[in-house]
Amino acid sequence: MINSILTATALVGIVGLFIGIFLGIAGIKFKVETDEREEKVLNALPGNNCGGCGYPGCSGLAAAIVKGQAKVNACPVGGEPVGEEIAKIMGVEATAAKRMTAFVKCQGDCEKTHPIYEYTGTEDCRVMKFVPSGGPKSCEFGCLGYGNCVKACAFDAIHVVDGIAVVDKEKCKACGACVSACPNDLIELIPYDNTVKVACSSKNKGPAVMKACSVGCIGCSLCAKNCPSQAIEVNDNLAKIDYEKCIDCKTCVEKCPKKAIIDK
């Protein structure tokens, strides 16, 4: 009996020793070498994990930077200071990144638009896809005002004011969370320094737009015809600014008869 116990104990010990040696060798053989710079870059990033850089969180961006797949200033939240710090870690020169900000392409507040019926139900912008006319507002393309973008913003940079979302460009980190949250595709990222914006998203023709909103774009093309840098095109009855060409001269603001192009 005792011999059987000793034999079993020895066998278990030998098996355990074998497994330990095997795992040790496997760990060495299949060890993934990590560039020490990756941890330093990760520590330099703000840690918001917002995804605004296009990678799955800060760790994903850090790995991409070290591999040369992303720029050192790719973090929109950290901005220039973080970009410079990461550039030092990577031993490269930091290039100036253009600051961006989110903009809501709508002015249809409670005074400029009107309700077409009284809605009672879940106050969620995505739910409006399933109700008549895409929501109770007279413009089917406008801001619904239920704040999905507000809930998505981690920086308190967007709020609903008089029925439409408004961005505080000083707080905005251009992470893109609000862009993804808006079911009507009303929010876009634009250069921070450009003040001229088309504050409308309606693709309806002029007469329909004027019935729905007092400041909607009617697609008249006066802005495009008078733009000295040919930075504006009108497609689907809606003006669109090419910010690579725009010189911020504000001619379009002056020429727009409906004040759909703003300067602020």
One domain for residues 188 and 202: no
Place of tokens 């969370």: 177
Last residue of a domain, one of 28, 55, 90: 90
One domain for residues 176 and 199: no
* Residue 127 domain flag: yes
One domain for residues 103 and 86: no
* Residue 2 domain flag: no
Nearest Cα to Cα of residue 71 among 79, 177, 193, 174: 79
Tokens of 154: 């981690």
One domain for residues 187 and 209: no
One domain for residues 57 and 121: no
One domain for residues 157 and 240: no
Tokens of 54: 């296009």
pLDDT of 1 above 80: no
* Residue 117 domain flag: yes
One domain for residues 244 and 185: no
* Residue 41 domain flag: yes
Domain count, the chain: 3
Last residue of a domain, one of 24, 59, 90: 90
Name the residue with higher pLDDT: 208 or 18. Answer: 208
The total of other beta-carbon atoms located within 10 Å of residue 31's CB is 8
pLDDT at 203: 95
Q: How confident is the model at residue 4 (pLDDT cuts 50, 70, 90)?
A: low
Give the CATH number of the domain where residue 241 resides: 3.30.70.20
pLDDT of 80 above 90: no
* Residue 20 domain flag: no
d(CA 260, CA 109): 13
* Residue 10 domain flag: no
- 81-97 residue pLDDT tens: 898 999 999 988 877 77
- 111-159 residue pLDDT tens: 999 999 999 999 999 999 899 999 999 999 999 999 999 999 999 999 9
pLDDT at 30: 54
Domain span including residue 55: 36-90
Q: How confident is the model at residue 49 (pLDDT cuts 50, 70, 90)?
A: confident
pLDDT of 178 above 90: yes
Minimum mean pLDDT among 7-16, 60-69, 203-212, 239-248: which range? 7-16
One domain for residues 181 and 238: no
d(CA 129, CA 124): 10
One domain for residues 165 and 203: no
Last residue of a domain, one of 133, 165, 192: 192
- Please report, rounded to a whole number, the percentage of residues in the chain having pLDDT higher than 70: 88
Name the residue with higher pLDDT: 111 or 11. Answer: 111
Nearest Cα to Cα of residue 61 among 27, 84, 86: 86
* Residue 244 domain flag: yes
One domain for residues 187 and 200: no
* Residue 15 domain flag: no
Mean pLDDT of the chain: 89
For residues 198 and 123, is the Cβ–Cβ distance under 8 A? no
One domain for residues 247 and 211: yes
pLDDT at 56: 85
